[in-house]
Structure 1
Amino acid sequence: MSKELATKSISEKTLTHPCYNCIAHKYARMHIPVAPKCNVSCNFCNRKYDCVNETRPGVTSEVLTPEGARDKFKIVRDKVRNLTVVGIAGPGDPLANFDETKKSIELIKKESKDITFCLSTNGLMLPFYADKLIELGVTHLTVTINAVDPKIGGKVYKFVNYLGDTFVGEEAGRVLLNNQLSGLKYAAQKGIVCKVNIVMIKGINDLHIPEIVKKVKECGAYMTNIMHLIPVKESVFENNPTVTEVELNDMRRDCELTLKQMYHCRQCRADAIGTLDNDVSGEFRESTESSQNSENNLEDKNVIQLKSHKYRFAVASKSGVSIDEHFGHATEFYIYDVINDEIKFKEKRKVNRYCSGGYDCGEHEDRIENIIKSVIDCNAVLVVRAGFEPIDRLHEKGIRLFQMYQEINEGIRKAAKLLKKDE
């Protein structure tokens, strides 16, 4: 963040941001959908892509690469003259896709130095990335905080995936909350204008909302945006009742005594373009797809989406060169990410070997479970061989297991092709 920007007042910083300033309704924003992966599963969320007739968070008709986002920005900028803001709001969480988020901002900043960058996050990884966001020039931040009581948070979230471990219930609520509040406080102290979104869920957190508003004010939030629950089909809360507009505005008015409130939220899509009252994103879908098809010689939109996918693999290897370790004998896994067909080594994760040979392998369910927890964020596990039990247990968690013996990068490429083929 520049020194000039850091010295500006909040009113100056929010002058042309339509979400933070209700009188800035004449200005347009552009959401770039470059962040498909999410590390928190909310009970009200179902992030379907290609739902062109739906207007709600987490929905997009396409997932863009950073280069695709830059190209689309240039098209939109030339046609939407009042564009002042570029935001990243999904369809997953921008900080769970930080490499894509970072590159997108850097590429667009080269095209326009005056654009305002904002970002919406669940806050789980905010303490890790707050300084990097400041370096990138992000000036506005929205953190969704639906509870400041871990017990209530445990009812809102199905699970939280944090640094390779999966938490549920009250423990999930506590892990998420600690990071949300510490990240919010730090970002606000550093001069980022922070808004907190709160989904008002009848019978879950509705009576708890004034406490949330009070707490986030203590942590430096500039305003809160209390929104009604959208009961989405196939989500855990699909049959939950929603609050009326009267109930929602009554809560906003009550909380306004504590902190500034947003009344004009449209609960936008992850690919929204235009003013809050006039989303024109549909006008740019065809032109963007045509532009990318021409540039990359791709055949259809589905291929574009595959190009932007990110896969994570856990590899069992004794040598560090080949896939040459039995699942039950592994004491560590090499973690690799595949982003746009580029293979990147991330880290090594230690695990406790669960099989010592003979009849011992089937007697350590707790060890298998711990190994699975260590690779829960992976799409697939690559091993030279595995027993039926770990294959079944991984499958239950949505993780594929591939048995092969070959050089690591070659094996990863083959596994990635198989995952793409099955989508």
Structure 2
Amino acid sequence: MELPVISNAPAATSGGCKASGCGSAPDALAHLPAEVRRKVQDHPCYSEEAHHHFARMHVAVAPACNIQCNYCNRKYDCTNESRPGVVSELLDPEQAVRKVLAVAAAIPQMSVLGIAGPGDALANPQRTFATFGELAEKAPDLKLCLSTNGLMLPQYVDEIARHNIDHVTITINCLDPEVGARIYPWIYWRNRRLRGVEAARVLIEQQQRGLEMLVARGILVKVNSVLIPGVNDTHLPAVSRAVKAKGAFLHNVMPLIAEAEHGTWYGLTGQRGPSAAELQALQDECAGDMAMMRHCRQCRADAVGLLGEDRGAEFTLDKVAALEIDYAAAMARRQEVHAALIGQMEAARAPAPALPAAGRPVLMAVAAKNGVVGEHFGHAREFLVYEASPQGVRFIGHRLAELYCGGADGCGEVAPEAILERTIAALAGCEAVLCAKIGFEPWGRLEAAGIAPNGEHALEPIEDAVRAVYREMAAAGRLAQPAPARQAA
């Protein structure tokens, strides 16, 4: 059986990069050197613009880890959680290569192959580099990415460069060992288990040294930091300044996931995660020092597809084993699709129309799909949040939601009332929600919560729709009114 080509690529009329924040400037990457722009223009994790169009895949070949984090609990054979460290199938390198080639044939927008766990890529160097080595030969058009805690990074920088891995993510949560001792119970270093401040000091030193070595070799580095209220929240702006000074390309401050059901130490001891407002405020503070990533989905270690979706169930090992794939034809198809998407994004870049000169910032949530207002309110599993102001439109982040309507069109099977309540709570701080359709019941509940539902801009590019609603609010005099009190999400 030949594997069908499954395409989620948006049509040329979908608005391209206007949906991702670049519509307010001629080129969101224009400040970067040409070589860097080339490396990130189709990377969904490194480019906010690209994440609406290009897909990524993580392969779970690295089960072991050499540090313990209080926010981590690795789970195997798990399909019900979407967070780092979770996988449904552990793979050996041969299985991983076979699966990558199958996914890349089926999803021609795929541009990136990453190894991010479920443990640490460099705590499993043989499995990691065996996978990368074979894929570099069989799918040379794919970008290779590696995520690491950084403990073993200096030892493997030369190997990373030799395998043409030109995107590396390091998780750096602190620079102060005293802070680190509250995040990392222990590390395994040189055949010894170190604990407390000593462990944190070694880890921090290795992370900083590895970052410098990668940058010296021209490898792009993204730094991830987990925002832990009361632990490292006031410390992260200093982290941002330090990693920028050492040459990191992008900083991703992401919220702590601390639900007790995940079984992490923080979750079981009551450590709370940040509210959406706290996360935005910290990201804005750090953004004064370097470029911030706001579109992170904190993906599983076996994620497949566009950011915000998980198609891993379509490519289990048993399904992949039954496929016959023309790899050369698949790669040619990928290159054709990639060129078309990049051309589409370039064509869509244009100065955006000005917004009303007087007015306050407004947050709006969007039920989005492929860069447009394309999802029914009750079918949305996440909402993208944008801020409109006289300065323009910018992407803020995303809010997770649960499926409220089970019908293919309209609201066939309606989920319990509690789900709607949780969705509305997740949209706290937003003054409008834009969606393709919305039912009578959620419409009324949103209005009662002070969130204006809007279904008038279905299938419009996101930023165009947000601008239109902002102008409507200005015409109605709503921008002259104080913003409603924002509740913690």
TM bucket, shorter chain: 0.5 to 0.7
Deviation at 1:234, TM superposition (A): 2.3
**Take 1:277 and 1:165, find their aligned partners in 2: how far apart are those partners?**
39
Q: Within the alignment, does 1:175 sit opposite 2:202 as a pair? A: yes
Number of residue pairs the alignment of both structures matches: 286
> Does residue 237 of structure 2 align to residue 206 of structure 1?
no
- Does the C-alpha gap of structure 1 residues 176 and 130 become closer, same or farther in structure 2, counting only changes over 3 Å? same
**What SS does structure 2 have at the residue aligned with 1:265?**
coil
Deviations 1:150-184 (A, max 9, x none): 11001100101012111111001100000000000
| 1:107 aligned partner | 134
Alignment partners' CA distance in 2, 1:287 and 1:41: 33
Pair 1:61 & 2:92 matched: no
Contact 1:152 1:205 in 2 (8 A): yes
2:98 maps to 71
Query: Could you tell me how far 1:219 is from its partner in structure 2?
Result: 1.4
Decide which moves more: 234-243 or 140-149: 234-243
Q: Does 1:40 align with 2:67?
A: yes
Whole-Å separation in 1 of the counterparts to 2:165 and 2:188? 25
For 1:280, the equivalent position in structure 2 comes to 311
CA offsets per residue over residues 299-320 of structure 1, 9 Å max, x none?
xxxxxxxxxxxxxxxxxxxxxx
The counterpart of 1:250, out of the listed 277, 281, 284, is 281
Match of 2:57 among 27, 30, 49: 30
Q: Deviations over 1:81-111 (max 9, x none)?
A: 1111000000000000000001001111121
Q: Is 1:222 matched up with 2:253?
A: no
Match of 2:162 among 135, 141, 159: 135
Is the CA contact 1:72–1:288 (under 8 Å) kept in the aligned structure 2? Answer: no
1:241 aligned partner: 272
C-alpha displacement at 1:288, in angstroms? Answer: 4.5
Distance 1:63 1:289, change over 3 A: farther
CA contact (8 A) 1:17 1:24 kept: yes
Question: How high is the TM-score relative to the length of structure 2?
Answer: 0.57
Alpha-carbon distance in 2 for matches of 1:288, 1:186: 41
* In structure 1, C-alpha distance between the alignment counterparts of 2:214 and 2:68, rounded to whole Å: 24
Deviation of residue 278 (structure 1)? 2.2
1:264 aligns with 2:295: yes
Give secondary structure in 1 for the equivalent of 2:166.
strand
SS of the residue corresponding to residue 156 of structure 1 reads coil
**Native 8 Å contact 2:88 2:302 kept in 1:** yes
Preserved CA contact (<8 Å) 2:251 2:293? yes
d(CA) in 2 for partners of 1:190 and 1:130? 9
TM-score under structure 1 length normalisation: 0.66
Q: Which residue of 2 aligns with 1:118?
A: 145
* Mapped pair 1:12 → 2:38: yes
Query: Matched residues, percent identical?
Result: 42
Q: Give the aligned partner of residue 342 of structure 1.
A: none
Displacement of 1:286 in angstroms is 5.5
CA RMSD of aligned residues (A): 1.4
The offset of 1:186, in angstroms, is 0.9
Distance in 2, matches of 1:251 and 1:76, equals 36
Distance of 1:281 and 1:139 partners within structure 2: 25
Amino acid of the residue matched to residue 206 of structure 1? D
Deviation at 1:287, TM superposition (A): 3.9
**Aligned partner of 1:119: which letter?**
L
**Residue 191 of structure 1 is aligned with which of 202, 218, 221?**
218
Shift of 1:201: 0.4
Equivalents in 1 of 2:152, 2:231: separation in Å? 25
SS at match of 1:198: strand
Q: What corresponds to 2:185 in structure 1?
A: 158
1:266-297 deviation line (CA, Å, top 9, x unaligned): 000000011103221121126447559xxxxx
Q: Greater strand percent: which structure?
A: 1
State how far apart, in whole Å, the 1-side matches of 2:185 and 2:315 are: 35
Q: Which deviations, in whole Å up to 9, do the C-alpha atoms of 1:172-214 show, x marking residues without a partner?
A: 1100000000000110121111000000001111111101111
The secondary structure found in structure 1 opposite 2:147 is: strand
- Extract unaligned runs of 5+ from structure 1: 1-6, 293-423
Tell me: higher relative CO, structure 1 or 2? Use CA pairs within 8 A at least 6 residues apart: 2
